[in-house]
Structure 1
Amino acid sequence: MRNWVFFIESEEECICPECKSGLKYRDKVLRIQRYRDSEPKWFAINRLKCTNES
């Protein structure tokens, strides 16, 4: 069985939906998508943090 991990990337500038400040990289989490009749797929998703300190 082969394990594949798909990395989600974007060229967009990410902004906080609440205060409209920029977001910076925090960490990465792995998520799995399971299917009935095929192998599951793994996704690496970046988590971001608001840069507004107030």
Structure 2
Amino acid sequence: MSVEDRVDAALAGLDQGEFATAPSLPAIAAWAPFETARGALVPQLELTKPGARYNVN
């Protein structure tokens, strides 16, 4: 993909209200499972104790 195509696609995505753009992604719906998984993971990265799998406590 040319630089011009990347920039044009990214700007078009931003104009459409996309928070982040991925110019080569054919359908924005493919982003949803990633965003769901990310949303579930982030709170677990902020816990105050080591994970049980480490057998630290």
TM-score, length-scaled by structure 2: 0.18
Structure 1 or 2: larger helix share? 2
Which structure would you say has the larger RCO, counting Cα contacts within 8 Å and 6 or more residues apart? 1
Instruction: Give the structure with the larger strand fraction.
Output: 1
The structure that has the greater radius of gyration is 2
- TM-score, with normalisation over the residues of structure 1? 0.18
